[in-house]
Amino acid sequence: MKIEFVGAEAPFSETAAAAVFVHEKEGLQGEAARIDGLTNGALARAVSVARFSGGIGQTLDVLAPAGIGAGRVLLVGAGPAKGFDANKIETAAAHAYQTVKAGGAQTLDLRLGDVAPDLAASAVLGVRLASYRFDRYRTTEKPEKKPSVSALSVSVSDPSGATSAYETLSGLADAVFFARDLVTEPANILYPEEFARRVKELAHLGLEIEILGEKEMAALGMGALLGVGQGSVRETQLAVIQWKGAADPEAQPLAFVGKGVCFDTGGISLKSPDGMEEMVTDMGGAAAVSGLMYALASRKAKVNVVGILGLVENMPDGNAQRPGDVVTTMSGQTVEVINTDAEGRLVLADALWYCQQRFKPKFMIDLATLTGAIIVALGKDVAGLFSNDDDLSAKLLAASGATGETLWRMPLPPQYERLIDSAVADMKNVGPRYGGSISAALFIQRFVNGLPWAHLDIAPTAFKPGSTIPTIPSGATGFGVRLLDRFVAENYEG
């Protein structure tokens, strides 16, 4: 999308859709009042005959008002003037884009008047996030089915201030798109080695990337992660991404670990076919960690961060691991694999152990589309947070509130530890159906070696068909990138 910032009184255009914010129950103010004056009261007359009160999500079209040479002026509800913050303007601007994107205009002309530069930048972020599309495999779509709007013009009293405020947010939008693309790519294209290759391309941002193959992982004793990939013709990979932005490149890093199951058939414990295609998104945790590293590098975050991705495909095969197999993890602990579909925790077990052994990080946060049970518990808009550390949890919940990527803390009751006792090994990889997300988290906790740790079960939020959030078009969300970028920025950059 082409983006430009221009002055507040820039001329209107016939081929652009102008959009102006109106606060709830305030009448027309600011830029809306100015345009109303230029159009001889056309906006106020439209409001007086419509059910439009300026609430977020409401829009009102005024077509071809006389006096300004604009084909269309869209009034966009912005909610109450009090509390009109970055999140609100982002959402309102995204609604504006969603309303006009297929209406024939080529440009969305956001008329912001004297809105502050950082809020103007957030409005642009909202439009960009809303404009995400994945078109790579469409060859026959008719042009009239595609969005007509391909450019955004923002008219604001301080265009140069808004331009520089948008610079950091632009990298964040690119990072979210990077994560969304990874989640959307089909599994015949994006298998572990291809995922690793795409991550290696991020070296141009200043990230250091290493890829471990099966031989290296076998030498390290990663029996759990390798067991998951045993039935796949694709080679399992472990990606290690480092960002050294702190003044001291040796300073203790933060660590993020992602589940990257490029496709989860369930393995020998095969899933039922209904909806199995959605398991192409089972690498949403690894995608979010990749997007986070992208975002941190693109804004040159002043902190050292490690991202680790366990990249693997879970397939049934003559060589696949069987229910009842016992694997030895890198930690030395043994696991009875009762259900080969509970593979995410096996991936994380070795990735987390490797991470804490090699990097001795301040803490580890893992992201994983781990359990269907967390969707039963929390629904599709909220991800589960499990943690052994109240301070880390509080910081994550604060970042969650600020970005609208909602987390809800779940318990880790010690009395449930017995649910994963095994008769033949140190533990089994599944507990009973009830509390399935909790026993999964308790399993993972056994591989953090006492470090402060948080586990985000993002199975609900990584992929949303039929999303109703305007900044998230249906499909891959990139959930976690914005949340963790904010979490790092607020707490660890001095």
Binding residues vs ligand BES (CB under 6 A):
264, 282, 339, 341-344, 369-373, 430, 436, 459
Contact between 156 and 162 under an 8 Å Cβ cutoff? The reply is yes
Q: How many residues bind Zn ion (CB under 5 A)?
A: 6
- For residues 287 and 290, give the distance between their C-alpha atoms in angstroms, rounded to a whole number: 5
Choose the one of Zn ion, ligand BES, none that binds residue 372, judging by a C-beta under 5 to 8 angstroms depending on kind.
ligand BES
Q: Which of 34, 133, 198, 271 is catalytic?
A: 271
Distance in Å, CB of 459 to ligand BES, minimum: 4
- Please, what sign has the CA dihedral across residues 439, 426, 309, 430? negative
E strand map for 437-487 = 453-457, 463-464, 475-476
Residues 6+ apart with CB under 8 A from 300: 206, 245
What's the CA gap between 60 and 76, in Å, rounded? 7
For residue 314, the number of C-alpha atoms closer than 13 Å in the C-beta half-sphere is 32
Which one, 248 or 274, has the nearer CB to ligand BES?
Answer: 274
Min dist CB 338 to ligand BES, Å, is 8
Out of 54, 159, 344, 473, the only residue in the binding site for Zn ion (CB under 5 A) is 344
| Interaction of residue 282 with Zn ion, rule CB under 5 A | yes
Judged by beta carbon distances under 5 to 8 A according to partner kind, the member of Zn ion, ligand BES, none in contact with residue 436 is ligand BES
As measured in angstroms, the least distance from the Cβ of 437 to ligand BES is 8
| Phi, psi angle pair for 64, to nearest 5° | 40, 55
**Would you state the structure tokens that stand for residue 164, as one six-digit string?**
């520089």
457 binds, among Zn ion, ligand BES, none (CB under 5 to 8 A by kind): none
Residue number with CB closer to ligand BES (23 or 428): 428
| 157 to 14, 131, 163: CA distances (angstroms) | 22, 25, 12
Least CB distance from residue 285 to ligand BES, whole Å? 10
- Tell me, rounded to whole angstroms, the distance of Cα 484 from its chain centroid: 9
Q: Minimum Å distance from CB 33 to ligand BES? A: 48
Number of H helices, E strands in the chain: 14, 19
Specify which residues 243 forms β-bridges with.
305
Using the minimum distance from each CB to ligand BES, give the nearer residue, 303 or 346.
346
Nearer of residues 15 and 339 to ligand BES, judged by Cβ: 339
Q: Which does 258 bind (CB under 5 to 8 A by kind): ligand BES, Zn ion, none?
A: none
Q: Which of 109, 325, 336, 341 binds Zn ion (CB under 5 A)?
A: 341
Q: Among residues 48, 37, 103, 114, which one has the least CA distance to residue 74? A: 103
Q: Which is nearer to ligand BES, 52 or 408 (CB)?
A: 408
- Residue among 153 and 281 whose Cβ is closer to Zn ion: 281
Could you give the 3-state DSSP secondary structure of residue 330? coil
Strands (E), 125-236: 151-156, 208-212
- Using a 10 angstrom Cβ sphere, with 0-12 exposed, 13-18 middle and 19 or more buried, the burial of residue 207 is buried
**145 among known catalytic residues:** no
Q: Which of 88, 299, 345, 464 is catalytic?
A: 345
The interface region with Zn ion, picked from 142-150, 214-222, 334-342, 414-422 by CB under 5 A, is: 334-342
Smallest gap from Cβ 181 to ligand BES, in A, equals: 19
Among 36, 158, 194, 264, binds Zn ion (CB under 5 A): 264
Write down the least CB distance from residue 224 to ligand BES, Å: 14
C-beta closer to ligand BES: residue 194 or 264: 264
Listed ranges 155-163, 248-256, 282-290, 422-430: which one lies at the site for Zn ion (CB under 5 A): 282-290
Say how many Å lie between the first and final Cα of the chain, rounded: 34
Contact present, 229 and 195 (Cβ < 8 Å):
no
Interaction between residue 457 and Zn ion (CB under 5 A): no
Cα–Cα separations (whole angstroms), residue 200 to 170, 207, 210, 239: 21, 9, 8, 9
Q: Across the chain, which distance is largest between two alpha carbons, in Å?
A: 82
Q: Distance (Å, rounded) from C-alpha 333 to C-alpha 248?
A: 35
Question: Which listed option, Zn ion, ligand BES, none, makes contact with residue 442 (CB within 5 to 8 Å by class)?
Answer: none
Cβ 363 to ligand BES shortest distance, Å = 24
- Contacted entry of ligand BES, Zn ion, none for residue 459, CB cut-off 5 to 8 Å set by kind: ligand BES
Q: Which is nearer to ligand BES, 123 or 430 (CB)?
A: 430
138 catalytic? Reply is: no
Stretch that binds Zn ion, among 47-55, 80-88, 200-208, 342-350 (CB under 5 A): 342-350
- What is d(CA 403, CA 488) in angstroms, rounded to the nearest whole number? 13
Residues, the chain: 494
- In angstroms, rounded to a whole number, what is the distance separating the alpha carbons of residues 201 and 233? 24
The binder of 184, among ligand BES, Zn ion, none, by C-beta within 5 to 8 A per type, is none
Site residues, Zn ion (CB under 5 A): 261, 264, 282, 341, 343-344
Catalytically active residues are 271, 345
